[in-house]
């Protein structure tokens, strides 16, 4: 299993689209929704797996107490609500949002890891993929869109901006590239 440092965000839209397609086609709707919610919320996989269907159903936003930090975060679901609602309808009266086929529990982190890697292999994505890929991908694309490391640092509950930049894979080379194009 890859360590968190080995795991990378998905940095290009084509790979992101291929990963979504692969999850839907070769894994399951459950695994696709896990990935979709992960890349749109920035939650850790442990927090995602603890979600219950009734927490999400019919809501544009939810609050989650993060397992690691014990901090409360508001998660906005409006952008993906339609897909979430369709999925929740398909799982019927299951308690867990990501139910295991084995008993009345959510899938495990290991199962999530296996499914993400299976999809990445099918999508021919070569960078290190793990459960943290979802959170890192959220961070990477949030930073690319808003360019606000301080806000992202708060969202991810990191103690320093440099930790956030390292975490999402914004390297010195990428920063240097920005400076090459910078002109006032």
Rounded Cα distance, 97 and 41, in Å: 15
Helices (H), the chain: 13-22, 29-41, 45-49, 53-56, 81-91, 109-122, 132-146, 149-156, 161-168, 172-181
Given 73, 135, 136, 142, the catalytic residue: 135
Rounded Cα distance, 146 and 61, in Å: 20
The answer to whether 113 is a known catalytic residue is no
163 near 173, Cβ under 8 Å? no
Rounded Cα distance, 172 and 156, in Å: 21
The answer to whether 44 is a known catalytic residue is yes
Rounded Cα distance, 150 and 117, in Å: 31
Q: What are phi and psi of 79, to 5 degrees?
A: -65, -25
As to burial, measured by CB atoms within 10 angstroms (0-12 exposed, 13-18 middle, 19+ buried), residue 34 is buried
Given 68, 101, 102, 183, the catalytic residue: 68
Given 73, 132, 136, 142, the catalytic residue: 132
The answer to whether 135 is a known catalytic residue is yes
The answer to whether 59 is a known catalytic residue is no
Given 30, 32, 44, 140, the catalytic residue: 44
Token pair in block for residue 131: 């459960």
CA 30 to chain centre: 14
The answer to whether 68 is a known catalytic residue is yes
Which positions are annotated as active-site residues?
Answer: 44, 68, 132, 135, 158, 167
């Amino acid at each position: 299993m890859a360590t968190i440092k080995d795991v990378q965000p998905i940095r290009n839209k084509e790979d992101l689209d291929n990963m979504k397609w692969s999850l839907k086609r070769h894994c399951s709707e459950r695994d696709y929704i896990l990935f979709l919610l992960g890349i749109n919320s920035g939650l850790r996989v442990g927090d995602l797996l603890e979600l219950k269907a009734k927490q999400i159903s019919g809501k544009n936003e939810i609050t989650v107490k993060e397992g690691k930090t014990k901090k409360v975060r508001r998660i906005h679901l409006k952008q993906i609500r339609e897909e979430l609602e369709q999925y929740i309808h398909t799982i019927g009266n299951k308690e867990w949002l990501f139910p295991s086929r084995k008993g009345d529990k959510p899938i495990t982190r290991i199962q999530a890891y296996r499914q993400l890697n299976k999809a990445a292999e099918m999508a021919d994505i070569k960078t290190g993929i793990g459960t943290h890929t979802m959170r890192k991908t959220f961070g990477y694309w949030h930073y690319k869109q808003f360019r606000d490391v301080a806000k992202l640092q708060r969202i991810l509950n990191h103690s320093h901006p440099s930790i956030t930049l390292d975490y999402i894979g914004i390297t010195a080379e990428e920063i240097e590239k920005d400076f090459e194009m910078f002109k006032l």
